[in-house]
Amino acid sequence: MSVARLSTGDNNRESKRPKRGNSLVLGFSNEDKIGTIQPHDDALVVTLRIGGFDLKRVLIDQGSAVEVMYPDLYKGHNLKPEDLMVYDSLLVSFEGKTVTPRGQIRLPIQTRSNVVEVNFIVVNAYSPYTAIVARPWLHALRAISSSLHQKVKYLSEGRVEEIMGN
């Protein structure tokens, strides 16, 4: 079982309150697999509220150090090149190809009452995802994720909150 112990406080989210006097535990157990088809090799893909819009097909990628925005999201937010800040590092795609980013933009990601602002690197490349959220977002939210359990868990207002994969 993956566990992070922390003391303390929608449509596809659930909440669990701790008993009095207990510290909250962020972790996953076999109970968290209920509702998933096992075994599976599915990526963790969720719906998140990014920049004020509920966006489907957002990949949670613990292996990535940057958040990435693809053309559908860029166009859907009516962003223009002048909205972007300079980002001059190259990225490597899933296929191993070098990708030159168009720039970066800072947008909020809302999960219930929590709002975390992250820098999205905007790329002009095909992806089945609208965006990738990565370690910077997970760490800022103090969250843990599990593709096996198809969930992200984090603390909010004295509760363990869950975002379920879809």
For position 19, which CATH number holds?
A: 2.40.70.10
Which residue intervals of 29-159 are DSSP H helices? 71-76, 135-141
Instruction: Indicate the pTM of the whole model.
Output: 0.81
| pLDDT at position 17 | 55
| pLDDT at position 22 | 60
| pLDDT at position 2 | 41
What's the rounded Cα separation, in Å, for the pair 109 and 69? 13
What's the rounded Cα separation, in Å, for the pair 68 and 102? 11
Identify each DSSP E strand in the chain by its residue range.
Answer: 3-6, 13-16, 24-27, 45-50, 53-60, 67-69, 91-92, 98-99, 103-111, 114-122, 131-133, 144-146, 151-156, 159-164
| pLDDT at position 10 | 42
The tally of domains found in the chain comes to: 1
Full residue range of the structural domain in which residue 95 is found = 3-164
Element (H, E) at 78: none
pLDDT along the chain (166 residues), means of 10: 40 50 80 90 95 94 92 85 90 81 94 93 90 96 96 93 93
Comparing C-alpha atoms, which of 60, 46, 73 is closest to residue 135?
A: 60
| pLDDT at position 81 | 86
In the structure encoding, which two tokens stand for residue 8, read together? 């303390």
| pLDDT at position 12 | 46
Contact predicate 72/53, CB 8 Å: no
